[in-house]
């Protein structure tokens, strides 16, 4: 996140409301700055209001008490290896190169003033202007999507065995072969800024490399549907092109280097489509058509902003999405840890955690207590309150990027 303020996650999903990447002041995604080596020496430095630091000498007992209190109030942090340690840095660099090459002219210019304009609009919650110009969209995608793409990739790579992303191998049963399909359709709701596009290109590359090394099943072709409220179509198209064509090489490169230069993903195995829809107001039939045959839906730093805009409309959207998805489809929700939405009940306002509202909608007993056993439309497979993604300091990118912290929830349609 950190559109420079570290307190909102900008990027539009609601054409007439708010941004789909959640510019909520309650959200904190990026919290510590990674030591990437910038190729261009201009970095964006903004305060992180929600980060606390000890600035003076304190009584040891008082400090310990405050730390205990803070730990009790904060979501439990999952202590494990960072996502990036499981992915080769060479692959991570290839993904960063997608954004560098897609927005080369923007990054070669003095991008900082443009980013400051975008951040100013976002600070004022003026999302129409923040995402109303092509140069703003490109600047945003060049600045904030790369690190997110790597963070999301770490998540998906860890759960790949749950997602049925690989075609059956010769050792699989005839039933498994018949049940499987060669393509895998993914809907990225609020995914116009291109982080998910880079993630999925990298995921297919990792699966292909794993197939070559272990002689397992081939990765399925990916069909990606990105839905957002702003006009991100050109951004999605540029990133897709960079994923499916060989990256540029120097005209002085040797014949061997040129011969070994290949695209990240075979162009026949990676397709994208973009739709400009407002998720809270889109016609249910249009949404159902867009989600037809989808095996995985992602809501990345989007859901909490939907709740902040309208809890009732968000519940309706989730139910329409549920109706449109076939049993076995997966839903992955990633957002800032500690995201809350205000709900008014009997005239009194109360804050509820985003994941509580989500579970309340998806995991409700649809029998209304009339059946002997609960009847549900979703089951929860994974639930993590807080995880870190930390960038490898060997990576290179023209401008500085940040680490990110997230909560994630994985569901399967029953």
Residues of the chain short of pLDDT 50, as ranges, are: 1-35, 37-61, 70-82, 84
CA-to-CA separations, 312 to 15, 329, 360, in angstroms, rounded? 17, 24, 12
- Indicate whether 191 belongs to any domain: yes
Which pLDDT score is estimated for 261?
92
φ/ψ (deg, to 5) at 344: -100, 120
- Indicate whether 309 belongs to any domain: yes
Residues found in the chain: 414
- Indicate whether 386 belongs to any domain: yes
What's the number of domains the chain is made of? Answer: 1
Which pLDDT score is estimated for 174?
58
- Indicate whether 387 belongs to any domain: yes
- Indicate whether 186 belongs to any domain: yes
Which pLDDT score is estimated for 86?
81
Which pLDDT score is estimated for 12?
42
- Indicate whether 47 belongs to any domain: no
Instruction: Extract the tokens encoding 400.
Output: 């500085």
Convert the pLDDT of each residue in 317-333 to its tens digit: 999 999 999 999 999 99
Instruction: Extract the tokens encoding 26.
Output: 């309650």
- Indicate whether 12 belongs to any domain: no
Which pLDDT score is estimated for 79?
41
Instruction: Extract the tokens encoding 179.
Output: 């049940």
Beta bridge partners of 186: 224, 296
Convert the pLDDT of each residue in 223-252 to its tens digit: 999 999 999 999 999 999 999 999 999 889
Domain containing 248 equals 83-167+180-413
CATH number for the domain that contains residue 219: 3.40.50.150
- Indicate whether 174 belongs to any domain: no
């Amino acid at each position: 996140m950190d559109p420079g303020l570290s307190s909102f996650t900008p990027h539009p999903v609601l054409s007439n409301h708010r941004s789909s990447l959640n510019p909520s002041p309650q959200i904190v995604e990026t919290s510590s700055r990674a030591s990437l080596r910038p190729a261009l020496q201009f970095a964006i430095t903004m305060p992180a209001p929600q980060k606390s630091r000890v600035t003076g000498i304190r009584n040891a007992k008082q400090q310990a008490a405050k730390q205990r209190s803070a730990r009790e109030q904060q979501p439990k942090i999952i202590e494990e290896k960072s996502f990036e340690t499981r992915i080769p840095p060479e692959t991570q660099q290839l993904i960063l190169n997608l954004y560098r090459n897609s927005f080369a002219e923007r990054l070669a210019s003095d991008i900082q003033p443009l980013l400051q304009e975008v951040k100013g609009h976002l600070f004022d919650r003026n999302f129409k202007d923040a995402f109303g110009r092509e140069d703003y969209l490109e600047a945003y995608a060049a600045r904030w999507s790369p690190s997110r793409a790597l963070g999301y990739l770490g998540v998906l790579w860890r759960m790949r065995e749950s997602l049925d992303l690989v075609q059956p191998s010769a050792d699989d049963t005839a039933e498994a072969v018949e049940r499987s399909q060669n393509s895998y359709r993914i809907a990225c709701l609020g995914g116009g800024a291109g982080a998910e596009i880079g993630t999925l290109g990298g995921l297919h590359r990792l699966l292909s490399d794993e197939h070559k090394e272990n002689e397992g099943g081939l990765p399925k072709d990916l069909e990606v549907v990105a839905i957002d409220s702003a006009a991100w179509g050109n951004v999605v198209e540029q990133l897709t092109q960079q994923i499916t064509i060989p990256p540029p090489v120097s005209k002085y490169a040797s014949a061997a280097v040129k011969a070994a230069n290949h695209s990240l993903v075979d162009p026949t195995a990676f397709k994208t489509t973009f739709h400009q829809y407002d998720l809270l107001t889109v016609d249910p039939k249009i949404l159902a058509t867009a989600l037809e045959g989808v095996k995985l839906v992602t809501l990345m730093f989007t859901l909490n902003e939907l709740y902040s805009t309208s809890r009732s409309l968000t519940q309706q959207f989730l139910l329409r999405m549920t109706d449109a998805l076939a049993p076995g489809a997966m839903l992955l929700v990633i957002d800032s840890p500690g995201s809350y939405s205000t709900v008014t009940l009997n005239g009194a306002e109360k804050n509820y955690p985003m994941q509580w509202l989500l579970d309340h909608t998806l995991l409700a007993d649809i029998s209304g207590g009339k059946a002997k056993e609960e009847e549900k439309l979703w089951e929860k497979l994974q639930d993590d309150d807080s995880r870190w993604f930390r960038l490898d300091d060997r990576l290179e990118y023209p401008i500085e990027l940040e680490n990110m912290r997230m909560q994630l929830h994985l569901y399967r349609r029953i």
